[in-house]
Structure 1
Amino acid sequence: MTETAMRARATIDLAAVRSNVRALRARAPRAEIMAVVKADAYGHGAVRCARAAREAGATWLGTALPEEALALRAAGDTGRLMCWLWTPGGPWREAVEQDVDVSVSGMWALREAVAAARACGRTARVQLKVDTGLGRNGCQPADWAELVGAARAAEAEGTVRVTGVWSHFACADEPGHPSIAAQLEVFRAALAVAESAGLDPEVRHHCNTPALLTLPEAHFDLVRAGIGIYGVSPSPEIGAPEDFGLRPAMTLEASVASVKRVPGGHGVSYGHQYTTPGETTLALVPVGYADGIPRHASGGGPVLIAGKWRTVAGRIAMDQFVVDLGGDAAQVGETAVLFGPGDRGEPTAEDWARATGTIAYEIVTRIGTRVPRVYRDECADTGMNQCADTGGAT
């Protein structure tokens, strides 16, 4: 797909992904790193980003759904791989057969893992999750000893190998929040219970990206890097991507589909929430909420057209939105940059997050399948300036 022929595309810089993994590894030099590639690598493309992360030294991959983990196996990944969001009746057997580490937060899940192991004649790799205070998945501390004891018994019979003990922070993106120290205390107590029961996990892990960046005392054996791998800061309170040597990997662009002069007082888009203040030029950008552009950004979403930062005029529709260029001109087919690293003065995903009252995670993850992903290597490791298109849509 050539740039002039595109309606829209999300260009993924794989060199940036690799560089980000290396920068995050440097922040946790004594721990292994897991590249979290759930939700199609936060919208960036799981298979290609997983490969790039592996090349940069990620020894583990992490997914939420078992289907995501099995898709990585089908694509040829053979390294350590963990999946944590399970429901009764899920593909436990397939995961055990494919050597996926499965997360267990309660007795029902341990029973499913044991049954799957018996059915396929393989030992299930199990990671026990304790709820240290996030209040989502994870075993409550009051029930932890029972789960640990049952897992140890399953180890003794050979159906299970407990490869990890883990948890997740609730407020690591708020430095100094009192829950952080409280969760670490609960986690250390849970590790002591597991050790006293005879468990010897390969990895203990609690850190997500913000904790990786700010809590070296919580690195343990493994850190889970999610949004940071894609060059997005977990929160403005922690710092901007460049503060940690990170570079945003996704650039979202569209080709201007229409440019026209209109008189003052002309209504724009549904509901006429915007009317032109005077004679002006309107540009039509052919992406909308069906492509993952937040409708909440109506009237405020930023976009770079003809070298200047503009904002969406009126409502964002399913397939398109309008920008008022004022007295400026643009050409049909010209590139509109919705967000990127910011090098060319374009908005970033964080700018869109601010415009919509959300987080940058959501901005990049919600870009839909109608927008093809195009993979490029900026050759940052070799000092080359040329980019190479290394693939088409996913």
Structure 2
Amino acid sequence: MNRVSVALERRSGAWRPPTLQTLPSAVAANVAEMRARTASTIMAVVKADGYGHGAVTVARAAVAAGAGWLGTTSVAEASALRAAGLAVPILTWLHPSGIDAEAAAATGVDVAVGSVDELRALLAQAASPVRIHLHMDTGMSRGGCPRGRWDELIGLARRGQRARRVRVVGVMGHLPLADRADPAANASAVAGMHEARRAVRAAGLGSPLAHLAATSGTLTDPATHFGMVRVGAGLVGIDPSGTVEMHGASRLTAPIVHTTAAPAGTPVGYAGTYVTDRATHLSVLPLGYADGIPRERLPQAGVEIRGRRFPIVGRVSMDQIVIDTGAEAFPVGTSATVFGPEGGATPGLRDWARWAGTIPHTIVTGIGPRVRRSIA
């Protein structure tokens, strides 16, 4: 929370500081949309603090709506979900600080291993059996074991399972082109997953759970579903394929902290890049690029106030943005919606992504820690 919003809150308990509100009902509706499109188990991926919406909040809503698994970046993130009382299976697969075998075994968290070296390191430290998923590179070239070493990885996993240091329970890959919403673009990765699954079975490791698709594959290509699908962005209303209207799961609001009447010819903000072309009113919101508001954006960018959209003018500052409200002079404390699920005058994440030349994921995961969080 920045200095302006703190002062505002102290002056009047009725005014809310900048707040990102998570909507669990929207998460549940998005899980229902996925369930209608697949017979596979749904993993709710809540990495990056639930795509900026709160990992525990999103996880609870998703599990209550029928998700059977959770996915995270690290064992530490998974352990926090366990501490919050979430008992469903959890898989972690990025391991930015390495794999904590002891914590994984103690909390019953599955880990993915994507290289021979990673599996060797895990086997060296595992005192109790750790549940593992063999992560195969199915075309992303961004992680996972390359095809030329699949047999080596599988053989090492088989030896580790016989030594009771690991238990192979899954095999996974990624779809590099799923956002195209074209099954032909997924065919190579699908074939690779079938190949990996056959190799694991041939090695005597049973029939571990196979999973390949994320949100886009889940929505557009049943051939990618296998035994489980991993839904992350879709939980919070983002469809990277652009084919399905999902339910936005957050709303960012901020109060007006300053309003002024400005004559025509008034420069606004640093460097005076915007100059009023008529007499108007300017209002300040206590949010800036330090809070996740993109500094570079199209002139169409705006916010909603009382059912109308007003443009952001001038440069985005570290702590503030200015909006041009025309003939309307809004009092200090009036709430503005920066983005939300309502539609109409309220901008959505896709609007902001278009204005900033990016993807919706970066908008919502970029909201800074000064912004208060709440749950609807």
Tell me which interval the TM-score lies in, with the shorter structure as reference length: over 0.9
> Which residue number corresponds to residue 353 of structure 1?
353
> Which residue number corresponds to residue 276 of structure 2?
276
Deviation at 1:160, TM superposition (A): 0.7
Code of the residue aligned with 1:263 in structure 2: it is P
The answer on 1:98 being equivalent to 2:107 is yes
1:211-250 to 2 correspondence within 5 Å? 211-236=217-242, 238-239=243-244, 241=245, 246-250=246-250
Deviation at 1:253, TM superposition (A): 0.6
Secondary structure (helix, strand or coil) at the match of 2:187 reads helix
Deviation at 1:79, TM superposition (A): 1.8
Q: Deviations over 1:92-131 (max 9, x none)?
A: 321222111111011121122223322xxx2101111111
Code of the residue aligned with 2:278 in structure 1: it is G
1:209-358 to 2 correspondence within 5 Å? 209-236=215-242, 238-239=243-244, 241=245, 246-297=246-297, 299-343=299-343, 345-358=345-358
Code of the residue aligned with 2:118 in structure 1: it is A
Mapped partners of 1:362, 1:87: distance in 2? 20
Code of the residue aligned with 1:117 in structure 2: it is A
Deviation at 1:139, TM superposition (A): 0.4
> Which residue number corresponds to residue 197 of structure 1?
203
Runs of 4+ in 1 over 4 A off after TM superposition: 87-90
Mapped partners of 1:63, 1:159: distance in 2? 22
Code of the residue aligned with 1:266 in structure 2: it is T
Mapped contact 1:297–1:316 kept (Cα < 8 A): no
The answer on 1:130 being equivalent to 2:136 is yes
Mapped contact 1:302–1:351 kept (Cα < 8 A): no
**Cα root mean square deviation, aligned:** 1.8
Mapped contact 2:75–2:103 kept (Cα < 8 A): no
The answer on 1:63 being equivalent to 2:72 is yes
The answer on 1:7 being equivalent to 2:13 is no
> Which residue number corresponds to residue 365 of structure 1?
365
Mapped partners of 1:334, 1:115: distance in 2? 59
Mapped partners of 2:35, 2:255: distance in 1? 37
Mapped partners of 2:98, 2:35: distance in 1? 36
> Which residue number corresponds to residue 182 of structure 2?
176
Code of the residue aligned with 2:92 in structure 1: it is C
The answer on 1:148 being equivalent to 2:154 is yes
Mapped partners of 1:230, 1:324: distance in 2? 30
Q: TM-score, normalised by structure 1?
A: 0.89
1:83-94 to 2 correspondence within 5 Å? 83-87=92-96, 89-94=98-103
Mapped contact 1:171–1:177 kept (Cα < 8 A): no
> Which residue number corresponds to residue 49 of structure 2?
40
Mapped partners of 2:370, 2:71: distance in 1? 25
Deviation at 1:235, TM superposition (A): 3.6
Deviation at 1:178, TM superposition (A): 4.9
Mapped partners of 2:279, 2:317: distance in 1? 23
Deviation at 1:201, TM superposition (A): 4.2
Mapped partners of 1:100, 1:259: distance in 2? 52
Residues 86 and 268 of structure 1, relative CA distance in 2, 3 Å threshold: same
Code of the residue aligned with 1:182 in structure 2: it is S
Code of the residue aligned with 1:27 in structure 2: it is R
> Which residue number corresponds to residue 388 of structure 1?
none
Mapped partners of 1:306, 1:280: distance in 2? 18
Mapped partners of 1:235, 1:356: distance in 2? 19
Mapped partners of 2:202, 2:140: distance in 1? 25
Code of the residue aligned with 1:45 in structure 2: it is G
Q: Deviations over 1:55-90 (max 9, x none)?
A: 111110001133211221222222200101125654
Mapped contact 2:132–2:167 kept (Cα < 8 A): yes
Residues 201 and 270 of structure 1, relative CA distance in 2, 3 Å threshold: farther
**Percent identity between the two aligned chains:** 40
Unaligned runs of 5+ in 2: 1-8
Residues 10 and 88 of structure 1, relative CA distance in 2, 3 Å threshold: closer
Code of the residue aligned with 1:351 in structure 2: it is D
Mapped contact 1:303–1:347 kept (Cα < 8 A): yes
Q: Deviations over 1:359-382 (max 9, x none)?
A: 111111111221122111xxxxxx
Mapped contact 1:127–1:166 kept (Cα < 8 A): yes
Q: 2:192 aligns with which of 168, 171, 186?
A: 186
* Pairs aligned (count): 366
Residues 316 and 280 of structure 1, relative CA distance in 2, 3 Å threshold: same
Mapped partners of 1:353, 1:61: distance in 2? 27
Mapped contact 2:190–2:223 kept (Cα < 8 A): no
Deviation at 1:300, TM superposition (A): 4.0
Mapped partners of 2:167, 2:305: distance in 1? 56
Code of the residue aligned with 2:134 in structure 1: it is L
Residues 87 and 305 of structure 1, relative CA distance in 2, 3 Å threshold: closer
Code of the residue aligned with 1:345 in structure 2: it is A
